[in-house]
Structure 1
């Protein structure tokens, strides 16, 4: 993606890498298709921000720099906003732009006077246009923004349709598990898909890029205190925890693609032997609905622990790679989970089950609707809680329910 700022080696800088002296590079540039400059952060400029952001999102993305004069390109520091600049710009967009565009914003302080500086806003090319600002579809026209014509609107809708089809196709990926045939067909999996938007889905791994992403994933595993084994597929890398008994006990897998989309597959932990017998005895003693003969019971605590541990690895990876979470579209899937009972010996769960019944996957395998993450800050988006809570949602427990019993149960299961 275009960046008006370059390193000494000529590589484009990300918004996080820009330093105050880099602003001098703007003197050699003109406002245009992907760059707009504003001298002040006045009320009139604030009113224009939603229009500018939407036009960049509907085009190829771009940068808005506030605190630079249009003509001379002189730095004219503006006062530091009272709130975080991302929140300020985000609130303006939430009020006036639909759907929410993806952007990053940063206040770059003047080293000589930290309470003054320049505001940088980098808008990413939108994956699901058109982005509408106050009822108007804005696109870039040279160095300005203007309403989209009929053919441009058709192109925007076509782009959104193609991207949705790409996401759906990605969510049909299947990771191979070296289990005996009978068990492999029935292995219950919780799959989490993270489709990275705004990238070329046809991009192929180069040797350098493959080594770079593999090294970053190894770092993520190492931060978790885990070793990893890498398997090369024709268009991806698959990471697993080394284990001699993999054909007996299935282990989670992370599949990593050239554009850094990812798929996490977590095998459910099934109750077997004495543990299963104890669970069945508890169900009988407390008069819970008994599962059919031969039915499978999932250990809720152990499976959730797996899901959260592996989701933490994904979170560590995006931190290492400095990828904002807002670049990902997320969906989850139940695979081979039909007819499985979710089991926990937590007293809250048992009381809930006595009144409402145990959580039971009575439907066929399912794929959730795709969610688009709007929170790009690592410290406020927690992959563990996201994956953990949606694992239970996938198993039949409604999240965000107004029923206090549902909320109590969610809290108890997430603590387990």
Structure 2
């Protein structure tokens, strides 16, 4: 955004690690970590994701041994339940892995476990939340026996942790062959180093810029960094094409046309401009690992509309000030633009079957410092008379990064997040104990 790329701070990666569409295949790394292991394959030998696994696929486990990324348990007994946090933490501290409950560890025969009244994902998730710090990212599925849906097999996929070490009941466990054991001091150093590098990657990603020819254009940016992906997991050309097709479809279902620009490590889907390339336009940048960046130009009032708003907010003298001296931001028009584009992200993630909890999210303002918020909503006009107009009081800055796997964002939607935090950045008092503040928040968000 702006007319180019901001400089990267000393010591930070020059490009976002674990990202890219073309460049991702060329990236060299000193970290020789194994790829995520997938025990289930389709007819062409391609890995199957957990939602794609069928009961018949369990036969593939007969040819596999327990090891670094795979562990079997015959039952879900109290003894096994006590071991689950240790196993999960060891996978998260290593390269990820799979725990399969209902498979004998000696001959890999299927020993179905009963379907419980409570969901296995809730039970295992609660075990991990109570015994592991920080909470690892897992996906749990009960695969019912088609011949008897009352029984089945539980498959737990544990993703490699982004911020290790993951501590289970006070101990840091890592994988040692086919078992889990306490980490040595050198392994602990490596785990802390991995977390430090991951934070640097998130920071570097949040410095991404999309070119906007019109200088000093006021922008609202939303960064969505997909966690748990690495350069070693580079998508194939077919997968990249599927990503692009899903994004085009998401624009179309929102009634929006899009133009695709090929960047060196991403695709940029932008709203076409009808006049000149210098006209600011909204865009979504899509990376190979399905990280996302949304860039939305704010709508500034101009001409008679701006004069009318300035006079109502500040009086006749303010209406005569040059537009460059007093920027007035249309709350309704900008919110509509922001939320409509964020709805494209919601559609894309839903279409691709991605869980929002896999993302780290931050928002950013550019060239909006001092811009005054305008709305002809009666509650806002009364608020402005009594307490003064709302305006963006901060210099251009990035919000704190929120990690959506923290258990506090189970119902996250990009549209809702972008809309509320756009107003928050403009001074709207979110979470205020004052009823008048909350009424104003509700009124403006309804616009």
TM-score by length of 2: 0.85
Compare 133-142 and 205-214 and name the one that shifted more.
Answer: 205-214
Contact kept, 8 Å, 2:89 with 2:168, in 1: the verdict is yes
Query: Structure 1 residues 283, 22: closer, same or farther in 2, change over 3 A?
Result: same
**Native 8 Å contact 1:338 1:364 kept in 2:** yes
Match of 2:344 among 300, 313, 319: 313
Q: Which residue of 2 aligns with 1:324?
A: 355
Residue in 1 that maps onto 2:251: 221
Mapped to 2, the partners of 1:248 and 1:50 lie a distance apart of 55
Say which SS state the counterpart of residue 326 (structure 2) adopts: coil
3-state SS in 2 of match to 1:152: helix
Counterpart in the other structure of 2:111 = 76
Residue 413 of structure 1 corresponds to which residue in structure 2?
Answer: 444
Shift >4 Å, 4+ stretches? 201-210, 246-249, 289-293
CA–CA distance in 1 between the matches of 2:191 and 2:437? 41
Deviations 1:128-181 (A, max 9, x none): 1111122221211111212211111100111111111111111111111132xx
- CA RMSD in angstroms comes to 2.5
**Distance across 1 between alignment mates of 2:236 and 2:151:** 43
- Per-residue CA deviations over 1:359-414 (Å, capped at 9, x if unaligned) read 211221111111111289x9933221122112222223343334433332222222
Structure 2: tracts of 5 or more residues without a match: 1-35
Distance 1:202 1:148, change over 3 A: closer
Q: Is the 8 A contact 1:291 1:341 kept in 2?
A: no
Q: Distance in 2 between matches of 1:88 and 1:408?
A: 39
Q: Determine the structure 1 residue equivalent to 2:76.
A: 41
Q: Does 1:116 align with 2:147?
A: no
**What's the offset of the Cα at 1:290?**
9.7
Q: 1:382 aligns with which of 413, 419, 424?
A: 413
Match of 2:283 among 219, 232, 253: 253
Deviations 1:327-352 (A, max 9, x none): 22111111111111122222232333
Q: Return the match for 1:196 from 208, 226, 242.
A: 226
Hey, what does 1:7 align to over in structure 2? 42
Q: Is the 8 A contact 2:419 2:445 kept in 1?
A: yes
Counterpart for residue 165 of structure 1: 200
User: Secondary structure of the equivalent of 1:381?
Assistant: coil
Q: 1:357, 1:92 → 2: CA distance?
A: 50
Q: CA separation of 1:229/1:115 partners in 2, compared to 1, >3 Å: closer, same or farther?
A: same
Of 73-82 and 403-412, more deviation after overlay is shown by 403-412
Equivalent position to 1:233, from 253, 263, 274: 263
- Residue of structure 1 equivalent to 2:7: none
Asked whether the equivalents of residues 85 and 132 of structure 2 are also in contact (C-alpha less than 8 Å), the reply is: yes
Q: Please list, as runs of the form range in 1=range in 2, the aligned pairs for 1:6-155 lying within 5 A after superposition.
A: 6-155=41-190
**Structure 1 residues 63 and 205: alpha-carbon distance in aligned structure 2, compared to 1, 3 A threshold:** closer
Go from structure 1 to structure 2 and tell me whether the alpha carbon gap of 1:357 and 1:143 turns closer, same or farther (over 3 Å shift): farther
1:254 Cα deviation after fit: 0.8
Aligned 8 A contact 1:204 1:235 in 2: no
Matched, 1:345 2:376: yes
- Corresponding residue for residue 276 of structure 1: 306
- Whether the aligned pair in 1 keeps the contact of 2:313 and 2:384 (CA below 8 Å) is no
For residues 29-64 of structure 1, the C-alpha deviation after alignment (integer angstroms, 9 at most, x for no partner) is 111111111122223322222222111111100111
Show CA shifts across 1:52-105 (max 9, x none).
211111110011111112212222222223233332222222222222211111
Q: Name which of structure 1's ranges 271-280 and 390-399 shifts more when overlaid on structure 2.
A: 390-399
Cα offset, 1:115, TM superposition: 2.3
